[in-house]
């Protein structure tokens, strides 16, 4: 098991939970943490027994953004040469297997962006989402202007990015940013139940669904539907489709093996 200094990783059955763990900095995302998170995602993707990842933080903060103290002195040349953000942040958004964000407390700037890179967000009722980069003389740099706009629409995304206003969990749910809101004390359990439900499903179907839903924001409707139809047809070549449908007809639970 790899030793990490900024994240905690726990595996139970088919679910791996990554807890961001820089409590003194409200889980500010520095490059070491993002390298560790990328490495954990690599491990998750490579392990065929794992079907779902949960990324979470503390009760006070999912993550309060990219680490401002680390970023403050960067020159353009360094940021460009190091491929700042792209080099290690995009790994989460490139995961082929499902990733849930379980968000309590602050999800600001890069923290909000990291949550949006996950497939869906379950929010605790104390969660606060925002893109406050404007207050630092910059704008979002890990996809905030793009993913937030797709999630909540232009008006709210523009307002949040131009003013830095935070929205609470209820507003985030109304706006479509989060899948659902749960009481803070139940966040871990609710995320686990969702993750275990996902982890009990057939891996090819999970991969197909994730790829198709993501295609919706990248293609036209007719291209997206054609893409979905091809993958839908392809799933008839899998043992999991035979097992899933046979189990329904035989009135039993399907068994999808995890190699």
Candidates 40, 141, 157, 191; binder of ligand CAA (CB under 6 A) is: 141
CA distances from 189 to 11, 177, 184, 193, 196 (A): 15, 21, 10, 6, 10
Query: Is 7 within 8 Å of 37 (Cβ atoms)?
Result: yes
Least Å from the CB of residue 130 to ligand CAA: 8
DSSP-based three-state secondary structure for 238: coil
CA distances from 9 to 21, 86, 93, 96 (A): 10, 23, 19, 19
Candidates 109, 178, 182, 195; binder of ligand CAA (CB under 6 A) is: 109
CA distances from 177 to 20, 160, 165, 166 (A): 21, 13, 15, 13
Of 78 and 211, nearer to ligand CAA (C-beta) is 78
Least Å from the CB of residue 194 to ligand CAA: 26
Q: Which residues pair with 53 in a beta bridge?
A: 16, 99
Angle between helices 86-93 and 31-46 (to 10 degrees): 40
Q: Which residues pair with 128 in a beta bridge?
A: 106, 168
Q: Does 33 bind ligand CAA (CB under 6 A)?
A: no
Of 113 and 240, nearer to ligand CAA (C-beta) is 113
Which of the residues 37 through 76 are near ligand CAA (CB under 6 A)? Answer: 64-69
Q: Does 133 bind ligand CAA (CB under 6 A)?
A: yes
Of 2 and 135, nearer to ligand CAA (C-beta) is 135
Which of the residues 144 through 203 are near ligand CAA (CB under 6 A)? Answer: 144
Q: Does 28 bind ligand CAA (CB under 6 A)?
A: yes
Closest among 159, 66, 80 to 113, alpha carbons compared: 66
Of 28 and 206, nearer to ligand CAA (C-beta) is 28
Distant-in-sequence, close-in-space partners of 46: CB < 8 Å, separation ≥ 6 = none
Stretch that binds ligand CAA, among 119-127, 131-139, 194-202, 239-247 (CB under 6 A): 131-139
251: DSSP letter: T
Least Å from the CB of residue 90 to ligand CAA: 12
Task: Write out the two tokens for 20.
Answer: 């961001």
> Which residues contact ligand CAA by CB under 6 A?
25-26, 28, 64-69, 85, 106, 108-110, 113, 132-133, 136, 140-142, 144
């Amino acid at each position: 098991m790899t030793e990490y200094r900024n994240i905690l990783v726990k595996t139970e059955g088919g679910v791996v939970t990554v807890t961001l763990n820089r409590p003194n900095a409200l889980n500010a995302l520095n490059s070491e943490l993002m390298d560790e998170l990328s490495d954990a995602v690599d491990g998750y993707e490579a392990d065929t027994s794992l079907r779902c990842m949960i990324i979470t933080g503390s009760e006070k903060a999912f993550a309060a953004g990219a680490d401002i103290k680390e970023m403050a002195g960067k020159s353009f040349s360094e940021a460009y040469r190091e491929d700042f953000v792209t080099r290690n942040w995009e790994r989460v958004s490139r995961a082929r297997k499902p990733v849930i964000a379980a968000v309590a407390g602050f999800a600001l700037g890069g923290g909000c962006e990291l949550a949006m890179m996950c497939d869906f967000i379950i929010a605790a009722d104390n969660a606060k989402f925002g893109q406050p980069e404007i207050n630092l003389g910059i704008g979002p740099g890990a996809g905030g202007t793009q993913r937030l706009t797709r999630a909540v629409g232009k008006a709210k995304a523009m307002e949040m990015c131009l003013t830095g206003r935070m929205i609470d969990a209820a507003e985030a749910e109304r706006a479509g940013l989060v899948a659902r809101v749960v009481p803070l004390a139940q966040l871990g359990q609710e995320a686990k139940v969702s993750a275990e439900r996902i982890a009990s499903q057939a891996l090819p179907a999970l991969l197909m669904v994730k790829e198709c839903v993501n295609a919706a924001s990248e293609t036209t409707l007719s291209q997206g539907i054609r893409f979905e139809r091809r993958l839908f047809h392809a799933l008839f070549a899998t043992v999991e489709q035979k097992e899933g449908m046979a189990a329904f007809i035989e009135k039993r639970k399907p068994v999808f093996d995890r190699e």
